[in-house]
Amino acid sequence: MSTATVVMVGSGDAGGFRTDQTSTEGRGLRVHTLRPRRTLARSIGLPVLALALPLLVTLGWVLRPLGPVAVAGAVLAATALGALSFAAWIRYQRTEAAVSPHGIVERGFFGRIHSVARRDIAGVLRLETYRGDTLETVKQLFVVDRDGRCVFRMRGTFWDDASMDLVSRILGVDEVVRAEPVTMSELRATDPKLLYWFEGRGLRRR
């Protein structure tokens, strides 16, 4: 007989994670579902909305002498922008990563499903990178294969520390932590397979 239970082990505005335990004939599989920070959408969306509304009102006032067609066009553009923003918010809410001892199944922002089997994972690398030309840093987590290629990535901008701390423990792999922050250019020089082709193409910090 098969049974399934869901136990919430962590949640909150910063993000969250839960453990889904599915048992079949006494054998259980624990799947931890990790989700990005929930406050990020609000912290970005509200300032954009506060800036956009006065601009739209001003645009409508400027276009009013041009006739109803121009005003209708502005309203249509504003409606389309609102619809796109709402769609982006929904997609962000649905982004998640299911991590288990058997591997990772990620549903990205655009809905694409990406899976990595545990046998293809060599370890977890954690470090901090500088944000642009500032002294601010961003935490980064890379799940790498045996060739040193990144197969799954978490950025501190989107994921909280509690979720990032779980990954290596759930997968049962070694975690390497580099204490010294680096620029993206320096990271590309030492570990080019971790980054996208466009990352780390700028100047190095001296």
Q: Mind listing the pLDDT tens digit of every residue in the chain (206 residues)?
A: 433 333 333 433 345 555 554 433 445 578 899 999 876 555 556 566 666 667 777 777 777 777 787 777 777 877 887 788 778 778 878 899 999 999 999 998 888 999 999 999 999 999 999 998 889 999 999 999 999 999 999 999 899 999 999 999 999 999 999 999 999 999 999 999 999 888 876 645 44
In this prediction the pTM is 0.71
Alpha carbon separation from 179 to 14, 51, 72, 129 (Å, rounded): 24, 39, 56, 11
* Spatial distance between the Cα atoms of 132 and 101, rounded to a whole number of angstroms: 35
SS3 97: strand
The domain 2-36+95-194 is placed in CATH, from the list 3.40.1130, 1.10.3470, 2.60.40, 2.30.29, at 2.30.29
Structural domain spans, the chain: 2-36+95-194, 39-92
